[in-house]
């Protein structure tokens, strides 16, 4: 058995589109132990969903893993057949999608959709399946479960539907739950309910969670570790404390400065990251963030930065850090 629940090493993944090859993931490495909560933050198109989906072997028809390995619970996902994958999906790894409005099937009842998962992945039969479905709905805080099981998705509100999605995801007590922007489509008061629920369930069931989001507020309260992605690369990785209190990459710093400080009284102007997101069809040659970076140097435009490691698990990929390290080493050498 591997010590990691998820072990992605140097994954490269491309999508082949009519316009050309899009290198969605570029040397992504993620390791995660059981019961941990990992947050992946980044802008749309930064590859955060693609990374997480590849743990389930879910790459779109035009996507292909071009290098590296993806391991889940000691097994190579990238070498599995579709049949083997189907046994894992929904059982050991499950997923909650962003939009609860479109990810439930409108022509089946809620009961139907929850029971399907239980029927496929467990030995339970008949009444047991129904019983389990009812338990799951109570677990996610839906009242009158018996009535809800007979209802169709359109009869439920957005928050309720997201709870149903969570119930489906938890049906087989997975080891890993991937939550892809689980609260983005919901209102704040409902978002607070769902985050609270996920926190509770995590403590109760002890599963690992990968939380994909663009909302730094959401990761701050929930995650043990955070990976910041930009243009298909992890530009910084560390514990929540590392990322929020000691950010090293210019992009992370920029992100933190660009959100309104809500709980502080004095007004401070937002500091946006100038420029536009990367065009993934024509990514820059060097550091992907270089064109928008205020401290961009010559080398940044030409060569990809190496990993710089800080205390603990914290690392970033930025030439500025490399430069500091180099200078420190030079000074040390002179002494």
Partner 1 sequence: METKNLLEIEHLKQYFPVAGSRNVVKAVDDVSFFIKKGETFGLVGESGCGKTTTGRSILRLTEPTSGKIVYDGEVIFDSENNIKADMLPYRRKMQIVFQDPYASLDPRMTVGDIVGEAIDIHKLCSNGKERRERIISLLQTVGLNSEHANRYPHEFSGGQRQRVGIARALAVNPEFIVCDEPVSALDVSIQAQVVNMFEELQQELGLTYLFIAHDLSVVNHISNRIGVMYLGHMVEMAESDELIFHSVHPYTKSLISAIPIADPRKARASKRIILSGDVPSPLNPPSGCAFRTRCPYADETCAQCAPQFREVSRGHYAACHHIDKIN
Q: Which residues bind partner 1 (CB under 8 A)?
A: 43-44, 157, 159-160, 187-193, 195-196, 214-218, 220-221, 240-241, 244-245, 254-260, 262-263, 265, 267, 269-274, 276-277
Closest approach of partner 1 to the CB of residue 41, in Å = 9
Q: 3-state secondary structure string, 172-233?
A: CCCCEEEEECCCCCCCHHHHHHHHHHHHHHHHHHCCEEEEEECCHHHHHHHCCEEEEEECCE
Closest approach of partner 1 to the CB of residue 164, in Å = 13
In angstroms, the CA 28 to CA 14 distance is: 12
Closest approach of partner 1 to the CB of residue 43, in Å = 4
Q: For the chain, first and last CA: distance in Å?
A: 47
Closest approach of partner 1 to the CB of residue 121, in Å = 30
Question: Is the CB of 161 or the CB of 175 nearer to partner 1?
Answer: 161
Instruction: Kindly provide the b/e burial profile for residues 11-31, where b requires at least 16 CB atoms within 10 angstroms of the residue's own CB.
Output: bbbbbeeeeeebbbbbbbbbb
Question: Is the CB of 104 or the CB of 117 nearer to partner 1?
Answer: 104
Question: Is the CB of 172 or the CB of 216 nearer to partner 1?
Answer: 216
| DSSP classification of residue 65 | E
In angstroms, the CA 256 to CA 244 distance is: 8
Question: Is the CB of 91 or the CB of 257 nearer to partner 1?
Answer: 257
Residue with the two structure tokens 């749309």: 44
Closest approach of partner 1 to the CB of residue 130, in Å = 25
Residues 6+ apart with CB under 8 A from 70: 7, 8, 9, 11, 54, 55, 57, 76, 77, 78
Question: Is the CB of 138 or the CB of 221 nearer to partner 1?
Answer: 221
Residue 42 burial (CB < 10 Å; 0-12/13-18/19+)? buried
Neighbouring CB atoms inside 10 A of 226's CB total 25
Closest approach of partner 1 to the CB of residue 305, in Å = 19
Instruction: Kindly provide the b/e burial profile for residues 53-75, where b requires at least 16 CB atoms within 10 angstroms of the residue's own CB.
Output: bbbbbbbeeebebeebebbbbee
Closest approach of partner 1 to the CB of residue 46, in Å = 9
Closest approach of partner 1 to the CB of residue 335, in Å = 38
Strands of the sheet with 37-41, listed across from one edge: 93-96, 176-180, 208-213, 37-41, 225-230, 233-239, 315-317, 307-309
Question: Is the CB of 79 or the CB of 258 nearer to partner 1?
Answer: 258
Question: Is the CB of 271 or the CB of 328 nearer to partner 1?
Answer: 271
Question: Is the CB of 186 or the CB of 300 nearer to partner 1?
Answer: 186
């Amino acid at each position: 058995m591997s010590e990691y629940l998820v072990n992605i090493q140097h994954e490269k993944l491309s999508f082949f589109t009519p316009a050309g090859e899009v290198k969605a993931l570029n040397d992504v490495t993620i390791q995660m132990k059981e019961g941990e909560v990992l947050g992946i933050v980044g802008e749309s198109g930064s590859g955060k969903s693609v990374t997480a989906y590849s743990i389930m072997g879910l790459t779109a028809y035009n996507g292909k893993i071009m290098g590296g390995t993806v391991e889940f619970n000691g097994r190579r996902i990238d070498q599995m057949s579709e049949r083997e994958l189907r046994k894992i999906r929904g059982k050991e790894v499950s997923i909650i999608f962003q939009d609860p409005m479109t990810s439930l099937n409108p022509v089946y009842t809620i009961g139907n959709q929850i029971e399907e998962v239980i029927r496929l992945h467990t030995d339970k039969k008949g009444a047991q399946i129904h019983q389990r479905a009812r338990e799951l709905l109570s677990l996610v805080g839906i009242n009158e479960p018996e009535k809800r099981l007979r209802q169709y998705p359109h009869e439920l509100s957005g928050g309720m539907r997201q709870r149903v999605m969570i119930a489906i995801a938890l049906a087989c007590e997975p080891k890993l739950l991937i939550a892809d922007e689980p609260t983005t489509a919901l209102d704040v008061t409902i978002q607070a309910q769902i985050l609270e629920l996920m926190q509770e369930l995590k403590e109760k069931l002890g599963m690992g969670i990968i939380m994909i989001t663009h909302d730094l507020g959401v990761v701050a309260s929930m995650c043990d570790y955070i990976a910041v992605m930009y243009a298909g690369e992890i530009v910084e990785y560390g514990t929540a404390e590392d990322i929020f209190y000691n950010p090293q990459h210019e992009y992370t710093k920029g992100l933190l400065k660009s959100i309104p400080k809500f709980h502080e009284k004095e007004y401070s102007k937002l500091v946006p990251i100038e420029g536009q997101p990367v065009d993934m069809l024509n990514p820059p040659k060097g550091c992907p963030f270089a064109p928008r970076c205020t401290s961009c140097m010559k080398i940044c435009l030409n060569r990809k930065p190496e990993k710089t490691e800080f205390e603990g698990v914290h690392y970033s990929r930025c030439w500025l850090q490399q430069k500091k390290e180099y200078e420190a080493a030079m000074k040390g050498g002179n002494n």
